[in-house]
Amino acid sequence: MSETPASPPGLSPRLLPAGDGALIVELGEGIAPALNAAVHRLDRRIADAALPGVVETVPTYRSVLVVFDPARTHPDRLGQALLGLTEGLSQPSPEPQRRWVIPVCFGGIHGEDLDDVARRAGLTTAEVTALHCAADYRVYMLGFSPGFAYLGGLPEALHQPRRENPRMMTPAGSVIQGGAQAAISPIAMPSGWHLLGRTPVRIFDLRRDQPFLLAPGDRVRFASVPVVEFDRMAACDGLLPDSETVAGDVAGVAA
């Protein structure tokens, strides 16, 4: 999957049927920050509109899946209401956004692929770590497993194909990259992405009131911590990372 950071296409909202209990509102094609920001604006609008019969929504890179109860609404009526909500979506949102600052121990036993990633990129491991910590990641969407966030914004110097041979198991909290994307694995799972480091923060924790740390549309930055700090933090139960409030999207979608 390739990311298109250059000027995004204008929005072209389409309503797509998805069976007898769902509709998809598609705003465009491909993976681009401004397009995805418009998706999350639409998702918020749908929540705020409290349309009758809407059961849940799944915002993704460029579309929102809207699950509805056919006993409580008609797809034609719901579809019209949803299309109405796409008006003016190209405008950037002034609303502030939440950005998490996630501590990560890069390399060593927690990031076995860091050396290989650096070698292939022609960089030192310190440079790879610095690039990761300078990037402003965007949670494009969650999928694959509970709390698994697809992070866009991986610096181009680090784009690399996935591992030829997927690992059978990576521990929870693994900070990984594959193709043009980065992610943090919320639970132990197999992965073909490169293992760069690990965070002591629980991305998915059922003991919390909000079990999912990252929400669609959030921003993420990584902060490098040494292994002793990782161990100290890992011993703190219920540790939450710092978060900061950042300005909303600066760029709108070209009309």
Partner 1 sequence: MSSHLRVAAAGPSSTVQDRGRVGYQRYGVSVAGAVDPLLHAAANALVGNPAGEGAVEFTMAGDSLTVEGGPVRVAVAGDAALTIDDEPAPAWTSLRLRDGQTLRIGALREGTRGYWAVEGGLALAPVLGSVATHARTGLGGLAGGALKTGDRLPLRLDDAADRGELTLDPSLLPARGADIRVVLGPQDDAFTPAGIAAFLEESFTVSHEADRMGYRLNGPVIEHARGFNITSDGIPLGAVQVPGTGQPIVLLADRQTTGGYPKIACVIGPDVGALAQKRPGERLRFRAVATAEAQALHARHRDVLAGLPGLLRPAGAFALYGSERLLGFNLIGGVVTGWD
Q: What is the rounded CA–CA span in Å between residue 244 and residue 98?
A: 6
| Using rule CB under 8 A, residue 18 touches partner 1 | yes
Q: Does residue 29 interact with partner 1 by CB under 8 A? A: yes
Interior/surface letters 186-198, b for 16+ CB within 10 angstroms, e for the rest: bbebebebbbbbb
From the list 9, 21, 155, 179, which residue makes contact with partner 1 (rule: CB under 8 A)? 21
Stretch of residues binding partner 1 (CB under 8 A), selected from 11-19, 108-116, 192-200, 230-238: 11-19
Among 142, 175, 176, 195, binds partner 1 (CB under 8 A): 142
Considering only 72-80, 82-90, 171-179, 193-201, which stretch makes contact with partner 1 by CB under 8 A?
72-80
Q: Which stretch binds partner 1 (CB under 8 A): 102-110, 171-179, 206-214, 238-246?
A: 206-214
- Site residues for partner 1, 37-56, by CB under 8 A, read 43, 55-56
Burial of 228 (0-12, 13-18, 19+ CB in 10 A): exposed
Q: Give the pairing type, strands 63-68 and 149-152.
A: unpaired
Angle, alpha carbons 232-234-236 (nearest 5°): 80
- Closest to partner 1 by CB, 28 or 107: 28
Listed ranges 27-35, 89-97, 115-123, 244-252: which one lies at the site for partner 1 (CB under 8 A): 27-35
Question: Which parts of 165-204 interact with partner 1 (CB under 8 A)?
Answer: 186-187
Q: Is 83 in the site for partner 1 (CB under 8 A)?
A: no
In whole angstroms, the minimum distance from the beta carbon of 243 to partner 1 comes to 17
Q: Mask: binding to partner 1, 222-251, rule CB under 8 A, as x and -? A: ------------------------------
Exactly one of 51, 67, 101, 133 binds partner 1 (CB under 8 A); that residue is 67
# chain residues binding partner 1, by CB under 8 A: 47
User: CB of 70: closest distance to partner 1 in angstroms?
Assistant: 5
Q: Which residues bind partner 1 (CB under 8 A)?
A: 1, 16-22, 24, 26, 29-31, 43, 55-65, 67, 70-71, 74-76, 141-148, 150, 186-187, 206, 211-212, 215-216
